[in-house]
Amino acid sequence: MSFAAASAALDAAFPGRIDRGQAVRDQHGAGDSWHPVAPPDAVFQPVSTEEVAQAVRICAAHGCPIVPFGAGSCIEGQVNATQGGLCLDLSRMDRILRLSAPDMDVTVEAGLTRQRLNEDLRATGLFLPIDIGAHATLGGMASTRASGTMTVRHGTMADLVMGLTVVLPDGEVIRTGGRARKSASGYDLTHLFVGSEGTLGVITELTLRLTGIPEAAKAGLYSFADLQAATDTVVEALQFGLCLNRIELMDALQMRAINAFNGTDLPEMPTLLVDLTGSAAQVDTDRATFAALAQDHGATVHPVDTPEAYAHVWALRHSALYAARGLRPGASSLSTDVCVPVSDLPGLVAGITATLQAEGLVAPMHGHVGDGNFHLVMLFDPADAEEMARVQRVHGELVHRALALGGTATGEHGVGLGKKPYMEAEHGAALALMKRLKVAVDPQNLMNPGKIFDI
Amino acid sequence: MSFAAASAALDAAFPGRIDRGQAVRDQHGAGDSWHPVAPPDAVFQPVSTEEVAQAVRICAAHGCPIVPFGAGSCIEGQVNATQGGLCLDLSRMDRILRLSAPDMDVTVEAGLTRQRLNEDLRATGLFLPIDIGAHATLGGMASTRASGTMTVRHGTMADLVMGLTVVLPDGEVIRTGGRARKSASGYDLTHLFVGSEGTLGVITELTLRLTGIPEAAKAGLYSFADLQAATDTVVEALQFGLCLNRIELMDALQMRAINAFNGTDLPEMPTLLVDLTGSAAQVDTDRATFAALAQDHGATVHPVDTPEAYAHVWALRHSALYAARGLRPGASSLSTDVCVPVSDLPGLVAGITATLQAEGLVAPMHGHVGDGNFHLVMLFDPADAEEMARVQRVHGELVHRALALGGTATGEHGVGLGKKPYMEAEHGAALALMKRLKVAVDPQNLMNPGKIFDI
């Protein structure tokens, strides 16, 4: 059973809309990563939940794999159609279906991007407080449990998705959760689908929790002698309960990359960039407190006092990935994303830095230190199998070190193909339960097969 | 297959510890509610995860139902052993296993109570920010997805449980989640078990997220002409992002009950009681802002300016349930807990109040208005079947009205036996998926059978 079996029925149901062109298939066969392109057999762009359900029913009847696709910004191979099948590209499902400003919630179609949602919301004074680097769809962000820089204040997609519409692998449409701020009513299906990377069904609609655009926002930029001093400052600031919206850490190499990429001359030392939001008075008070904590740990405080300076430092931070890649033009990159208890971060980074040096690899580090989540951007020549093996070896060591600290292989990028090798080590006997759930929901293994784990 | 089949093997494994005494069985056969006592066949108090696993393996081998039990404070019949079997009373598993003050997380055994945890943590400056009326165990609170008054600021148990140790229905022990603040690694098993009311396994350990005890806390007490004015004030305050820790609403009848119970003479009008926490300056500023918003909506502001006054008003609030019951001594009570979008709360309460009056029922209202979650404490004579039927009829109407608004049948009490009739209306086709998951995890239907839904 395969796409071939479903092909005629799909054409009959959606005349002229099942795209088999090689360029379109290739474009849908990979995200933004080093994983080899694996094109689907065809691409379909549904415009409604009912069309998704109809396509899924046809695929289910003929045993055709289904790969949901949003913006293709994933970096662990989540959309790569390694077993072929039909790619369901949801990007045309991009409407806001309902908005309640008083209740600060919104229902959208899964193909709407985060940027578009926040642009459309601007007049309401509300926004979705998720800040990630990628230009992703909200359905994709829910599917991979995306988070980014504002998690320390607002949580991840898991915290902001209130409810979903999902097309199950047999084509049945269900609704999970709802508009209540909390519920104790039965099993939490919403959280089961969030982070399931399209392996349990197709998310077609989401109800999301919004927050008010704050009155004031100010940044602080601090250079430290070492990562330990920076992390200690963060631990203390979190315990004080300061109005921190973002706490980003960059190591000395990352700062060198940022300087080279942007033509700046910031100290090439471990650096914290923080964002404080709230009332104007609170922001000023808490920024002064943060600066005092940082100075107690020997930090140099850099002035960031105008809206222009604020925009500038955050633009520098958002350039981190491209700046890192710029250290070795033409190279591929593997961006790790382990997440550990915050206090364990300096020791973990010190350990892995020694390994990186021993392996002769270049890997600047930036991360969401408030959550204990950081990225090493390991640069390598994709044509050099030996170097690639070294990169994978260091990645494996990093993951196992993180797991030994009670952490996770992936804080926000998801598993896809790239983290599959670590699932047994991370979850142990619980991995068998995940597989049992997958079989219960998708007995034919048609939904994004081969992602997260193999059956 | 039943307890009888497992009886001898349990005695052999745990000599002298399988308690069949009628008093102990009766004491474990009901929570704190009107649901008729349904005693288990025997009660066992394990002292370790391994003992739980061993007992579960024996029960699984002999088809004996298993009912996990914490403090017995549930109010929807979650612990009532309607199919007999073995009650696993976890109250002796009450240790703190690990604490990290820098990372603000703790791992505990499931039988530890919330109060004991917070007492033991006091010296660290940290606490678990869940404030519920019941004297419950943390395992029980996770199982029913408990929340209470601080949800508006800190979320529910679903937001604060980072990981679990669970004994599955076949006796296998798994660990879910971990100590990372976030993870995108595979299916979210933690949230699957949180709120599953013991129907999927036995939670034996929990890793919990803590928060810092705030520098300052002040309360505000405001009387309004009607619920709409009170709710409008809350909606505006939430959009302002004030440092609200609790926002509690009581209706005129509830205020009358509180006055009668406590000998106070507060205005018997819709009343908001708020708690603001943070830095001293922020609390003062935000309380003044809240008071101005309330006055814009016609409120009378009552002074609450000393620590003694703070303690007094919160003691009054915590007396609400007993005060409500005091309106009709000797009566039983059914406490509803629907949760709806906040802006829909006044209309919903107005509608159901009309029904209550038409049915001649007495039901004071208090609730966590910041979440749209409220309790009507409906008083009735348990010996009067006709009155009980009226109470159930009104409860049904309330639930269906809440569901029509996108809300839920239960914000925090859970389903147990009492809300089972509403699961089909709330979840539709998703209920069948919940049942499929239950069968996949517990094919023999041994774990707390008959709760949430029937198979």
Residue B43: φ, ψ to 5°: -125, 135
Q: Do A160 and A104 form a contact (C-beta atoms < 8 A)?
A: no
Q: How many CB atoms lie within 10 A of CB A306?
A: 9
Report the gap between the CA of B290 and the closest CA in chain A (Å): 14
Report the pLDDT value the prediction gives residue B343, as an integer from 0 to 100. 95
- Probe site for chain B from A99, A168, A181 (most B CB atoms < 10 A): A181
pLDDT at A34: 87
Does A125 share its domain with A205? yes
Give B216's strand partners. Answer: B278
Between chains, do A407 and B343 touch, taking CB under 8 Å as contact?
Answer: no
Instruction: Report the C-alpha dihedral over residues B118, B120, B125, B127, rounded to 10 degrees.
Output: -20
Residues B85 and B171 both lie in one domain: no
Instruction: Look at residue A451 and tell me if it is in a domain.
Output: no
B152: nearest CA partner in chain A: A181
Give the residue from A91, A110, A141 where a domain finishes. A91
Query: Please, what is the average pLDDT of chain A?
Result: 97
Whether residues B292 and B328 fall in one domain:
no
Give the pLDDT confidence of B315-364 residue by residue, as tens digits: 999 999 999 999 999 999 999 999 999 999 999 999 999 999 999 999 99
- The alpha-carbon gap from B341 to the nearest alpha carbon of chain A, in Å, equals 5
DSSP-assigned letter for residue A319: T
Q: With left for phi above 0 and alpha for psi between -120 and 50, is residue B8 left, alpha or beta?
A: alpha
**Mutant choice from B100, B149, B162, B187 vs A, greatest count of A C-beta within 10 A:** B187
First to last CA, chain A: 17
pLDDT at A134: 87
C-alpha distances in angstroms, B267 versus B258, B261, B387? 11, 14, 30
Specify if A452 maps to a domain: no
| Best residue of A185, A240, A243 to probe chain B, by most B CBs closer than 10 Å | A185
CATH of the domain at A190: 3.30.465.10
- List the CATH number of the domain containing A47: 3.30.43.10
Rounded distance, CA B250 to CA B366, Å?
4
pLDDT over 90 at B134, yes or no = no
CB atoms within 10 A of CB B354: 10
Task: Report the relative pairing of strands B42-44 and B18-19 from DSSP bridges.
Answer: antiparallel
Task: CATH number of the domain at A356, please.
Answer: 3.30.70.2740
Residues 6+ apart with CB under 8 A from B259: B265, B266, B268
What are the φ and ψ backbone dihedral angles of B46, each rounded to 5 degrees?
-70, 160
pLDDT at A33: 86
Q: Which amino acid is at B259?
A: N
**Alpha carbon of residue A267 to chain centroid:** 29
Of residues B155, B182, B240, nearest to A411 (C-beta): B182
HEC readout, chain B: CCHHHHHHHHHHHCCCCEECCHHHHHHCCCCCCCCCCCCCCEEECCCCHHHHHHHHHHHHHHCCCEEEECCCCCCCCCCCCCCCCEEEEHHHCCCEEEEECCCCEEEEECCCEHHHHHHHHHHHCEECCCECCCCCEHHHHHHCCCCECCHHHHCCHHHHEEEEEEECCCCCEEEEECCCCCCCCCCCHHHHHCCCCCCCCEEEEEEEECEECCCEEEEEEEECCCHHHHHHHHHHHHHHCCCEEEEEEECHHHHHHHHHHHCCCCCCCCEEEEEEEECHHHHHHHHHHHHHHHHHCCCEEECCCCHHHHHHHHHHHHCHHHHHHHCCCCCEEEECECECCHHHHHHHHHHHHHHHHHHCCCCCEEEEHHHCEEEEEEEECCCCHHHHHHHHHHHHHHHHHHHHCCCECECCCCCCCCCHHHHHHHHCHHHHHHHHHHHHHCCCCCECCCCCCCC
Instruction: Give the three-class secondary structure for A74.
Output: coil
Confidence of residue A133 (pLDDT cuts 50, 70, 90): confident
CA dist B55 and A227 (Å) reads 48
Q: List pLDDT tens digits, range B105-128.
A: 999 999 999 999 999 999 999 999
Is B181 in contact with A440 (Cβ distance < 8 A)? no
The reply to whether A311 falls in a domain is yes
Residue A314 has what pLDDT?
96
The owner of tokens 């393996």 is: B57
Is residue B430 a contact partner of residue A172, using CB atoms and an 8 Å limit?
no
pLDDT exceeds 80 at position A58: yes
Distance (Å, whole) CA A278 – CA B279: 13
Claim to verify: residue A230 and residue A208 sit in the same structural domain: no
> How many residues make up chain A in this entry?
455
Same structural domain, B40 and B7: yes
The domain that holds B293 is classified in CATH as 3.30.70.3450
Domain that holds residue B303: 216-321
Measured torsion, CA atoms of residues B256, B258, B263, B268, in degrees rounded to the nearest 10: -30
Number of Cβ within 10 Å of residue A329's Cβ equals 7
Q: Is A55 helix (H, G, I), strand (E, B) or coil?
A: helix
CB contact under 8 A, B186 and A240: no
- Structural domains in chain A (count): 4
Q: Are residues A225 and A262 in the same domain?
A: yes
The phi, psi pair for B303, rounded to 5°, reads -70, 130
Beta carbons of A102 and B342 less than 8 angstroms apart:
yes
DSSP string, A328-361: STT-EEEE-B-B--GGGHHHHHHHHHHHHHHHT-
Nearest CA in chain B to A239: B212
Mean of the pLDDT values across residues A179-186? 98
Nearest to B168 among A159, A172, A433 (CB): A433
The rounded radius of gyration (Å) of the Cα atoms in chain A is: 22
Q: In terms of C-beta density within 10 A (0-12 exposed, 13-18 middle, 19 or more buried), how is residue A303 classed? A: exposed
**Contact: B188, A410; criterion CB under 8 Å:** no
Around Cβ A182, how many Cβ atoms within 10 Å?
25
- Tokens 């949580």 locate to A155
Q: Is 80 exceeded by the pLDDT of residue A1?
A: no
pLDDT at residue A272 is higher than 70: yes
Average of pLDDT values for B368-373? 96
Among the partner residues A102, A341, A413, nearest to B184 by beta-carbon distance: A413
For A341-368, write each residue's pLDDT tens digit.
999 999 999 999 999 999 999 999 999 9
Give the percent of chain B with pLDDT over 90: 97
The closest CB to that of B178, out of A175, A406, A414, belongs to A406
What residues in B contact A429, CB-CB < 8 Å? 172-175
State the pairing for strand pair B86-89/B42-44.
parallel
Asked if residues B201 and B189 have their Cβ atoms less than 8 Å apart, the reply is: no
Using CA coordinates, name the residue in chain A closest to B233.
Answer: A102
Distance CA A418, CA B143 (A): 34
* Cα–Cα distance for residue pair A220/A310, rounded to 1 Å: 9
Nearest Cα to Cα of residue A65 among A144, A136, A7, A140: A7
Kindly determine whether residue B174 and residue A103, on different chains, have CB atoms separated by under 8 Å: no
Closest CA to A328 of A249, A257, A250: A257
Best mutation target, A147, A183, A283, A412, to test chain B (most B CBs within 10 A): A183
User: B34: pLDDT confidence band, cut at 50, 70 and 90?
Assistant: confident
Same domain for A100 and A61: no
CA B333 – CA B254 distance, rounded (Å): 14
Contact B158, A194 (CB under 8 A): no
State both tokens at B90: 């976890």
Model pLDDT for residues A134-175, shown as the tens digit of each residue: 899 999 999 999 999 999 999 999 999 999 999 999 999 999
CA angle B445, B447, B449 (to 5 degrees): 65
Residue A434 counted as domain residue: no
Q: Cβ contact (<8 Å) for B100 and A411?
A: no
Q: Are residues A313 and A337 in the same domain?
A: no
Q: Which of A158, A191, A339 sits opposite B180 (nearest CB)?
A: A339
A373/B180 Cβ within 8 A: yes
Give yes or no: residues A292 and A355 share one domain. no
Find the closest chain B residue to A200 by CA distance: B187
State whether B295 and B400 are in the same domain.
no
Return the beta strands (E) in A49-144 as ranges. 66-69, 86-89, 96-100, 105-109, 126-127
Angle at the Cα of A21 (from A15 to A27), degrees rounded to 5?
120
Residue pair A279/A252 in contact (Cβ under 8 Å)? The answer is no
- Retrieve residue B47's tokens: 């002292």
- Which two structure tokens, joined as six digits, stand for A7? 């092909």
Q: Which of A59, A52, A46, A49 is nearest to A85 (CA)?
A: A59
Instruction: Name the one residue in this structure whose structure tokens are 């293709």.
Output: A72
Same domain as B335, residue B239? no
HEC string for A83-98: CCCEEEECCCCCCEEE
Check whether A41 has a pLDDT greater than 90: yes
Q: Nearest-CA distance from B386 to chain A in Å? A: 28
Interchain contact, A437 vs B437, CB within 8 Å: yes
pLDDT band at B33 (very low <50, low <70, confident <90, very high): confident
Reported as a single tens digit per residue, the pLDDT across B258-280 is 999 999 999 999 999 999 999 89
* Cβ–Cβ below 8 Å for B102 and A189: no
Within 10 Å of residue B319's Cβ, how many Cβ atoms?
A: 17
Residue B116, domain member (yes or no): yes
In terms of DSSP bridges, do strands B86-89 and B173-177 run parallel, antiparallel, or are they unpaired?
unpaired
Residue A276 scores a pLDDT above 80: yes
- What number of C-beta contacts closer than 8 Å exist between A and B? 302
Which of B149, B154, B183, B410 has the most A C-beta neighbours within 10 Å, making it the best mutation to test the interface with A? B183
B78, B151: one domain: no
Say what the ipTM of the complex is: 0.97
Q: Which residues of B touch A412 (CB under 8 A)?
A: 182, 184
Sheet of strand B332-335: strand arrangement: B300-302, B216-223, B271-278, B244-250, B365-368, B373-380, B332-335
Q: Are strands B202-209 and B105-109 parallel, antiparallel or unpaired?
A: antiparallel
Q: Which of A187, A405, A406 lies at the smallest CB-CB distance from B434? A: A187
Q: What is the pLDDT of residues A318-331, one digit of tens each?
A: 999 999 999 999 99
- Give the pLDDT confidence of B286-300 residue by residue, as tens digits: 999 999 999 999 999
CA distance B33 to chain A (A): 17
> Mean per-residue pLDDT for B30-36?
91
Those residues with Cβ within 8 angstroms of residue A358's Cβ, 6 or more apart along the chain or in another chain: none
Q: How confident is the model at residue B1 (pLDDT cuts 50, 70, 90)?
A: low
Asked if B136 and B118 count as a contact pair (C-beta separation under 8 A), the reply is no
pLDDT digits (tens, 9 = 90+) for A281-304: 899 999 999 999 999 999 999 999
Say if residue A332's pLDDT is above 70.
yes
> Tokens 């009766």, residue?
B26
Q: Pick from B161, B191, B212: which residue ends a domain? A: B212
The last residue of a domain, from among A63, A91, A119: A91
pLDDT band for position A24 (cuts 50, 70, 90): very high
> How far are the Cα atoms of A75, A169, B79, B161, B385 from residue B32, in angstroms, in the given order?
50, 41, 10, 24, 20
Pick the residue from chain A with its C-alpha nearest to B215.
A240
